[in-house]
Structure 1
Amino acid sequence: MTDTLYRKLQEHLDRLPIGFPATPSGADIDVLRIMYEPYEAEIALNLTPEPVTAEILAGKMYTAKDELFESLENMAKRGLLMRIRIEGVPRYALVPYIVGSYEFQLNRITRDYNRAHNRLMAESMGMEVFSGKTSQFRILPVERSLEGNQAVLPHETIREYIKNAKKIAAVDCLCRLKAEKMGKGCGHPLRVCLSLNEFADYYLEADMPAEEISSEKALQILDECEKLGLVAHTQNAGDDIYYICNCCKCGCGIMGAVNMFGLHSQISSSTYVAKTDKRLCTGCQTCLDRCIFSARSIENGVAKVKKSKCLGCGLCKTTCPSGAITMEKREESRLPDVPADVQEMYDRIQIDKGKPVRILSLKTIKEGLKS
């Protein structure tokens, strides 16, 4: 009976633009069984990306409101749904697995969950995340690497996202935490993922390993991550973004997959690409160590850039001792096509994959509930 319930939940989640495909080994069911108690799976089956109050959901499920409210709040704390408050009233919505409930599992990382998740990614979820024309992820260039460039696009000024955020939370990196739990930690700092506005509220209220920080502290984190050679990435949208991650290839699932499987074209690059001045390059190989995308090589004593692998993070430029590297705007045919906001990103992915259920961005939800 419970297998049937979890299969229904898998099929329910798979209707979203970023779905939850079945696996040959049953890893998908194993993940759901670890995450959701049977009653919670029933609740999730009755949720959609359109947020509802506990009262409305109780009527739909023919159950007591108070009991359901307690379960919904518990599920919110455990990252199994999205809770958003409008004028103080909590509403609950279904979220995809990635980016979504998986990233909210910071308090529940166990060896059993890790093993099931890794099998899920290898068998089906990895292809789900990286398939389609529109990527969920976008590389943010180090702003120091763009000094001197004319007309830097607003969506690439990472510091503006920080300065304009109403609330910021520094959150432990799930990927590195997961690796540490498996005895494979890389030593890079944990609390360097930045959640903004409603996402910050969510992490803080759920008592996850997170802390509210000032914009000044967030900018310090960005500077420290740059020194360590961590790449900043966010949602593939020009506005209304929820998070900024600072990633390494050793622990990050996204960056690791890009390198391992050559998926450079499946993540949106920045507008810029690195270029080396042969006259100034000394062949010191500093840029090779800084590039996590394997876009660098040394030929005849000079650093070369493979443009198809360079995602424009700018980390090589900021540490080039001879000043041989510049960041130049890509050719028009290779410029990233960045959706205007998160809702447009989700809508493009839905069209790409032909999925029946629309994911709603937090901005769309707020505007809809207030209208």
Structure 2
Amino acid sequence: MSEDIFRQLQKRLDRYSMGFPETKSGIELKILKYLFSEDDAEMFLSLSHELESPESVSSRFSRPPEEVAALLDDMAERGLLFRQKKGGAVRYAAIPFVHGLFEFQVKNIEREFSEMVQQYFEEGFHRAIENGAEYFLRTVPVHESVKTGYNVAAYEDAVEILRGKDKIVVTDCICRKSMKIIDRSCDKPLEACFMFGSMGQYYLDRKMGRKVDVDEAKEILLKCHEAGLVTQPATAQNPGGMCNCCGDCCGVMRALNRHPKPAEIVFSNHYAVVDTGLCTGCETCIDRCQMEAVTLSEGVCEISLDRCIGCGLCVTTCPAGALELVTKPEEEYRTPPENTSEQMMLMAQKRGLV
């Protein structure tokens, strides 16, 4: 019975976001059994990704409404569901493995869970990331990176995204925190990820982050950029969150690095170009690049457009001013979906689920 319900849970999660694929070792079931009891799994399977009240859930769940409400709230407090409190009403929804179950453990993550997750990333989840990265996160520059004179849309500028948000919550990067617990972390900033709107409020409710104003958020963003982190909001014009990722710890970035042509699977509208006449061959850009897109050839840097994801990290630290970030031509330019709902639908379509 227990094995069956956890396999059902795995299959349900595999339909959300980038999925939660099965592995030969079965490590995905160990992760689920670590997080969920059988009662939790049964409750999760009764939910959808649409927000619902406890009364609505109890109508198809063989328990009294007050008992269902208590279990839903308990699961939300353990990061097994999303909870929205709005206008005196409380509603709940099922969540993906990412962004969801994994990230929602940021407050209480332990070594055993971190080790299992890293094993899972290595055995199977990196393939799911490669298949779904395009509509999960996109790469945007901070506005100082883009070539002067280019008209950049607000949703293509990390600072403008922050300025457009009423509620900004900063939280620790779950990827770096997870790697730190198992002694594999880099030295990049830990407090580096932003959550907005109702997702930000959920993080506040569970004390997983702290509220910041736009000015402090911008300071954090620029520190992340200076430290060599790639800014990646969700692939939507109005994203619910924005990460600052490194190639050492971030599951998405690590999966992209395995791909021979990461530029093909990343949603990005920019790429770097080099003025070979100005380049001094100092190799600063090689150290900054998270995608190994920059190499040295005959004393000057050379950029692989198959690997450049348009983050701008190389541009702002080039001492010779030899690098620029430019917008892709109109025929290659892509407009991200408007909101999270459209983002999830496009991801599902790409995976053949709808």
Category of TM-score, reference length = shorter chain: over 0.9
From 326, 329, 332, the counterpart of 2:327 = 329
Tell me by how many angstroms 1:334 deviates. Answer: 3.9
Compared CA separation, residues 147 and 306, structure 1 to 2 (3 A): closer
Q: Give 2:230's aligned amino acid.
A: V
Higher mean C-alpha displacement, 40-49 vs 108-117: 108-117
Correspondence for 1:259: 257
Counterparts of 1:251 and 1:123 in 2: how far apart (Å)?
A: 16
Q: Which amino acid aligns with 1:253?
A: G
Alignment of 1:99-114 (within 5 A): 99-114=99-114
C-alpha distance 246-346 of structure 1, shift in aligned 2 (>3 A): same
Which amino acid counterpart does residue 229 of structure 1 have in structure 2? G
Structure 1 distance, partners of 2:10, 2:267, is 32
Q: Which whole-Å deviations, capped at 9, do the CAs of 1:161-217 have from their partners, x for residues lacking one?
A: 211211111100101100110011212121111111111101110122x11111110
CA distance in 2, matches of 1:224, 1:292: 16
2:284 is aligned to 286
Partner of 2:166: 166
User: TM-score, length-normalised on structure 1?
Assistant: 0.90
Shift in CA distance, 266/28, structure 1 to aligned 2, threshold 3 Å: farther
| Secondary structure, aligned partner of 2:195 | strand
Match of residue 228 from structure 1 = 227
What are the superposed Cα offsets for residues 261-302 of structure 1, whole Å, 9 maximum, x if unpaired? Answer: 446146424322111111111111111111111111111111
For structure 1, the 5+ residue unaligned runs are: 357-371
Change in Cα spacing, 1:269 to 1:311, as seen in structure 2 (3 Å) is farther
Structure 2 contact 18–129 (Cα < 8 Å) conserved: yes
Q: Secondary structure at the match of 2:210?
A: strand
Q: Cα distance 1:77–1:263, how it changes in 2: closer, same or farther (>3 A)?
A: farther
Is contact 2:130–2:259 with CA below 8 Å preserved after alignment? no
Aligned to 1:344: 342
Match of 2:210 in 1: 211
| Structure 1: distance between partners of 2:201 and 2:81 | 14
- 1:9 positional shift: 1.4
The residue matched to 1:91 in structure 2 has which SS?
A: strand
Does the Cα contact within 8 Å between 1:272 and 1:329 map onto a contact in 2? yes
C-alpha offsets along residues 305-332 of structure 1, whole Å, 9 cap, x if unaligned?
1111111111111111111112222244
- Aligned twin of 2:47: 47
Determine the C-alpha separation between the residues in 1 that align with 2:234 and 2:146: 20
Aligned-partner Cα distance in 2 for 1:246–1:113: 22
The amino acid across from 2:151 in the alignment is: A
What is the DSSP-based 3-state SS (H/G/I as helix, E as strand, rest coil) of the residue aligned with 2:60?
helix
C-alpha separation between the residues in 2 aligned to 1:285 and 1:18?
35
User: Which structure 2 residue ranges, 5 or more long, are not aligned?
Assistant: none
- Between the aligned partners of 1:53 and 1:73, the Cα distance in structure 2 is 11
Moved more, 78-87 or 294-303: 78-87
Q: State whether residues 176 and 185 of structure 1, in contact with CA within 8 Å, keep that contact through their aligned partners in structure 2.
A: yes
User: Structure 2 CA distance, aligned partners of 1:133 and 1:255?
Assistant: 9
**TM-fit CA distance, 1:124:** 2.8
Q: Specify the code of the residue in structure 2 equivalent to 1:184.
A: R
Contact kept, 8 Å, 1:48 with 1:93, in 2: the verdict is: yes
Alignment match, 1:19? 19
Match of 1:365 in 2: none
Count of aligned pairs: 354
- Secondary structure of the residue aligned to 2:50 is coil
- Scaled by the length of structure 2, the TM-score of the pair is 0.94
Alignment partners' CA distance in 2, 1:16 and 1:314: 31
Task: State the alpha-carbon separation in 2 of the partners of residues 78 and 141 from structure 1.
Answer: 34
Change (3 A) 1:81 1:296: same
Distance 1:323 1:148 in 2: 13
1:272 equivalent to 2:291? Answer: no
Structure 1 window deviating more from structure 2 (42-51 vs 64-73): it is 64-73
Query: Is the 1:77–1:207 Cα contact (8 Å) retained in structure 2?
Result: no
Instruction: Tell me how far 1:151 sits from its aligned partner.
Output: 1.3
SS of residue in 1 equivalent to 2:32 = helix
Give the Cα–Cα distance (whole angstroms) in 2 for the partners of residues 292 and 134 of structure 1. 17
SS of equivalent residue, structure 1 residue 139: coil
Match of 1:185 in 2: 185
Q: Deviations over 1:17-39 (max 9, x none)?
A: 53222222111211110111121
- Structure 1 pair 55/263, CA: closer, same or farther in 2 (3 Å)? farther
Q: Distance in 2 between matches of 1:303 and 1:12?
A: 47
1:241 pairs with one of 239, 242, 250: 239
Q: 1:134 to 1:275 in 2, by over 3 A?
A: closer
> Is 1:156 equivalent to 2:161 in the alignment?
no
1:86: how far off? 3.5
Gap change, CA 1:225 and 1:15, over 3 Å in 2: closer
> What is the match of residue 116 of structure 2?
116
Assess if the C-alpha contact under 8 Å between 2:189 and 2:227 holds in 1. Answer: no
Q: Which residue of 1 aligns with 2:295?
A: 297
| Equivalent position of 1:307 in the other structure | 305
Q: How far does the alpha carbon of each residue in 1:26-83 deviate from its partner, in whole angstroms, 9 at most, with x for none? A: 1121111011112111110100112211122122112122222222112112211111
3-state SS of 1:5 partner:
helix
